[in-house]
Amino acid sequence: MSDSEKCIEIPSFFVCPISLEIMKDPVTLSTGITYDRESIEKWLSNKKNVTCPITKQVLTDIELTPNHTLRRLIQSWCTINAPFGFERFPTPRLPVSKPQILKLLQDLKTPNLQMKSLKRLKTIVLESDMNKRSVEAVGAAEYLADVITNPNSTNMTSSSSAGEFSDEAVSILYHLHMSQTGLKALFGRNGEFIEALTSTMQRTDNDESRTYAVLLLKSMMEVVEPVQVMSLNPHFFTELTRILVNQISQKTTKAAIKLLIGVCPWGRNRVKTVEAEAVPVLVDILLDNTEKRIIEMVLMLLHQLCLCADGRAELLQHGAGLAVVSKKIFRVSAVASERAVRILHLIAKFSGNASVLQEMLQLGVVGKLCFLLQVDYCGSNTSEKAREILKMHSRVWKNSSCIPYNLVSSYPS
């Protein structure tokens, strides 16, 4: 604020209670308090804020009503006081209203208006967080889910058009960044919606839609109850594995791995993931990928899969399985080392036959575990796991010439 502006007393009701600046687009909440649109939208975009900032009343309706009278007063006052440095701001464009959104959703049922309506709806969603909330509040997610679940029932002229229509709906749903309640409602649609998104992942002609499907599924799985993910179709795990094979982008790969990490502990999902041949794919990612976070996540998922016998067998069957896991100790991060040791602990405890123990010795796994005890690189829990592995098979390993001389003294008795 300039010195000339400081000399002029600004009417208090021109000032936004949040920003403490002159309001450019005053809007009134259902509580009767007026704020600048940008400030109150920013407040409401945080899903934890469900109250009026001044009255602390819970907002059952987030409709923002433009206060045109106050805006004109402020504009006139700024014009009069222009010599003192107050610039008259332009009249703001009216935001989208709920009736307008509902009209677009109704137009989805009209064949020649469908794509135009979807594109307009996407533009609205991308404009602001407040628009996202308004679109969700009128129940748009249900309309869009119907489009994705039944793309061929939309009277499109061809199957390719139906696919484009469904892709646009998936994109809008992802960009809505829905509330937990909305995500749970989508998941609860008798499994049809999950199947539809799984089919979207199967598409080979639109990697962007496949990515949005994975990201949307990840958001949903993060909020549903564990019992709800126990009955996921094996096809779901097969398509996620294919996503990992294709490696569309780092973002997509991370989302797919995180999604599998989230669902694997429940029911038979571990076995379903192994049966989808995810283990060799994950080993290949460890061989080819250098990003720290992805390596840490892959090792976390491999540890979960190695909790079942089939998962351990798949890892050992891969020619580079044991080698690449042990190679990540000391070379990526303390987190990666800790997860690699946990995998080796499961192998040594449940699958440690003579050939496996010999392979671990030849790969230098035993020497690394001895060195780990010397440096305490990953903390006491990991050191204890390493000590347990070495003690389990001390009769085979302790006097081996494969262990470097300087590490023999670290071998636990």
**pLDDT tens profile 97-106:** 889 999 999 9
Residue 330 scores a pLDDT above 70: yes
- Which pLDDT does position 203 carry in this prediction? 83
**Mean pLDDT for the stretch of residues 117-136:** 90
Of all residues in the chain, what percent carry a pLDDT higher than 90? 64
| Res 403: pLDDT | 72
Can you tell me the mean pLDDT for 3-14? 76
Residue pair 171/119 in contact by the 8 Å Cβ criterion:
no
The confidence band for 367, taking pLDDT boundaries of 50, 70 and 90, is: confident
The mean pLDDT value for 52-73 works out to 90
Give the pLDDT of residue 70: 96
pLDDT, residue 341, reads 96
For the segment 359-365, the average pLDDT, to the nearest whole number, is: 91
**pLDDT of the residue at 24:** 94
| Average pLDDT over all residues of the chain | 89
Which pLDDT score is estimated for 2? 52
Asked if residue 240 has pLDDT above 90, the reply is yes
143-171 residue pLDDT tens: 999 999 986 655 544 444 668 899 999 99
pLDDT tens track for 288-322? 999 999 999 999 999 999 999 999 999 999 999 99
Look up the pTM and report it. Answer: 0.82
Each residue's pLDDT tens digit, 16-62: 999 999 999 999 999 999 999 989 988 887 767 778 999 999 988 77
